Amino acid sequence: MSTQSFTSYIKSFVNAIKFGSDDDYTLLSTDGTQRAYGSATCFDDLVSSLVARRLESTAGTLQYNYDNSSITMQRNGNITNTSDRLIFNKQIPHAFKAGSLMGLHIHWEQTDATTREFTVQWRIQENREAKTEAWQTAIIDTNTNNAFPYTSGTINQITTLIDIDLTGLNISDTVQFRLARTDAVNVDLEAVFVDAHIERDGLGSDEPFTKNEPVV
């Protein structure tokens, strides 16, 4: 079949086209947009650089490590101290699956098997709604939440921080974060970056500020 004939064949479909099984499939809607369901969805990273206040000041527990391209986090940070916490924001992308989770984790350099502690705060800012003022807080033990077992030397470690339920949220809504190292271990920690895993069910949204269900 020629390319032109195949294109004409596809255009002849009146209903949406479904590829896969009953529960796990990709749907091409009648307007040509694509949406995945079940195990047909995929995951992606939302990466953020780390920002903090007065990093070169002795008033806080954070300092840029320009040679290592990281931020040095000293012990005994306090999440309520603006000079001890890292800040970053995540926007919900157009391709996210409604009702899924945003899985936040930190990439850092682990130099020994001693557990560390992170305190993370977050709040959700929904577009069109009144600003959320209050923060939610979680305390994370690294050895419980590390992705990889420590071996020796300095390893690149990933530690799961929190999973945020995105149910009821829409594209371009924002999740704001604060992060501090709050353990008392007298060894510096090098933080490289924080990112979040999100589940995607398509290439994007069918509208600039809303995501509608496909036309079938």
Question: How many residues in total does the chain contain?
Answer: 216
CA atoms within 13 A on the CB side of 164: 28
Domain extents in the chain: 3-38, 42-200
Confidence check: pLDDT of 75 > 90: yes
Q: What is the rounded average pLDDT for all residues in the chain?
A: 83
What is the CATH architecture assignment of 42-200?
Sandwich (2.60)
Read off the pLDDT band of 103 (50, 70, 90).
Answer: very high
Q: What is the mean pLDDT of residues 84-97?
A: 88
Q: 137-194 pLDDT, tens per residue?
A: 999 999 999 999 999 999 999 999 999 999 999 888 999 999 999 999 999 999 999 9
The 3-state secondary structure of the chain reads CCHHHHHHHHHCCCCCEEEECCCCEEEECCCCCEEEEHHHCEEEEEEECCEECCCCCCCCCEEEECCCCEEEECCCCCCCCCCCCEEEEEECCCCECCCCEEEEEEEEEECCCCCCEEEEEEEEECCCCCCCCCCEEEEEEHHHHECCCCCCCCEEEEEEEEEEECCCCCCCCEEEEEEEECCCCCCCEEEEEEEEEEEECCCCCCCCCCCCCCCC
CA neighbor of 92 nearest in space, from 191, 180, 213, 210: 210
Identify the pLDDT of residue 61. Answer: 87
pLDDT band at 66 (very low <50, low <70, confident <90, very high): confident
Task: Look at residue 5 and tell me whether its pLDDT is greater than 60.
Answer: no
Quick check: 92 pLDDT over 60? yes
Q: What is the pTM of this model?
A: 0.77
**pLDDT value at residue 2:** 60
Rounded average pLDDT over 17-41: 70
**pLDDT: which is higher, 109 or 45:** 109
